[in-house]
Amino acid sequence: MSIVVVGSVFFDSIETPHGKVDRALGGAATYFSVAASFFTPVKMVATVGEDFPEEERSFLQSRRIDLSGLEIQTGLTGSWSGRYHEDMNQRDTLDLQLNVFADFRPRLPSSYRDAQYVFLANIDPKLQSLVLDQLSAPGVIGCDTMNYWISNARGDLEQLLGRVGLLVINDEEARQLSGERNIVRAARKLLEMGPKRVLIKRGEYGVIQFSSDSIFAVPAFPLEEVFDPTGAGDTFAGGLMGELARSGDVSEAGLRRAIVCGSVLASFVVEDFGMRRLKKLTREEVDRRYRQFVSLTDIEAR
C-alpha cells in the first residue's frame, strides 16, 4: 500500500571532515520518499522552483514516487548549507534560503486523499494539520517535528499530536517538548500528549520505541566511517513507514521489524554525501544488511 508524505525538497550544500558537496538533492520529503520506495510506492507532497532539474525529477519517478503532489512554483527551490564538526553530532547552519518553500501550502491531489499511511515530515504543525484535514480516513499517521516548532508553535504542535499515532523525534527534541531530561520520563510525557507510540532517535546510539505497555530498543548499525549524517533521521522514518505499509502489520512485532528496516536504511545513507548512497543502493543490499542487523542482537546466536 502506498504512503503519502508531505515535507521539503531542497538543495543541500554539505561540508564534513570527509569533504564537501554543493547543491545535492535533499530535503525531508526526498530522503523519506527514496527510503520508503524500497518497500512500497510513495506519493509526495512538496514544492520546488523552476530551477528544479528534470534529471532529479526523473530519478524520483524511477523510484515509484508519484509526483502529482509536487508543485512547481515561480522562483527558486529552497536551499540549505551546513558544516559538521569533527563530532558529527554537531553541525552549524551556514545559510538557509526558503525561497518557494516559504509560501508552501500543501494541497493533496484527489488521488492522495484516501491514503491509509501518511507521514508528516518536519514542517509547520499548522500545515501538518492542514494535510490531515484533506484526508478521508487515514489509518497510520506518523509525524516529525523540530526544536523551532516546539519553541515557536507549541500550541499548534500539541493539538496536532492528539491526531498522530506515531511520533518520531530525536532525543534533544523529546527532552524539550516534554520538559524532562530522562528519556524514559520524557517518552511517558509525550505519550500523554496523544501519540500511541513514540520513537526517539539517538543518533549513533540507535532508537528507542515507547508505547503505553512496552519499550523496544535497537542499536545503530556499526560502521567504520560516517561520511555525512544529513537526512539520516528522515531516511529512518522512510524505511520504517515503508515497511509498515508494505506488510500492513502495525502490531508490536510489525513495528519492531519496521524499526529495524528504518535503521538499516539510515545506516546506508550516512556512508556517502547526500543521496549518493541511496541512489546506488539495491534491495539485495538492504536485505543482506537487515539479516546482519538482526544477528547483532540474536542472543541465541543462531
| DSSP letter, residue 281 | -
User: What pLDDT does 224 receive?
Assistant: 87
What residue type is assigned to position 91 of the chain?
Answer: R
Kind and range of the H or E run holding 100: none
What residue type is assigned to position 166 of the chain?
Answer: L
Mean pLDDT of the chain: 95
For the chain, the domains span: 3-296
Residue pair 146/127 in contact (Cβ under 8 Å)? The answer is: no
User: What pLDDT does 302 receive?
Assistant: 58
Give tens-digit pLDDT for 107-134.
999 999 999 999 999 999 999 999 999 9
**Among all chains, which residue has been given the C-alpha cell 532529479?**
56
Give tens-digit pLDDT for 166-190.
999 999 999 999 999 999 999 999 9
Give tens-digit pLDDT for 262-300.
999 999 999 999 999 999 999 999 999 999 999 988 767
User: What pLDDT does 113 receive?
Assistant: 97
User: Could you say which of 3.40.1190.20, 3.30.930.10, 3.30.365.10, 3.40.50.720 is the CATH number of the domain covering 3-296?
Assistant: 3.40.1190.20
- For the beta carbon of residue 29, count every other beta carbon within 10 angstroms: 29
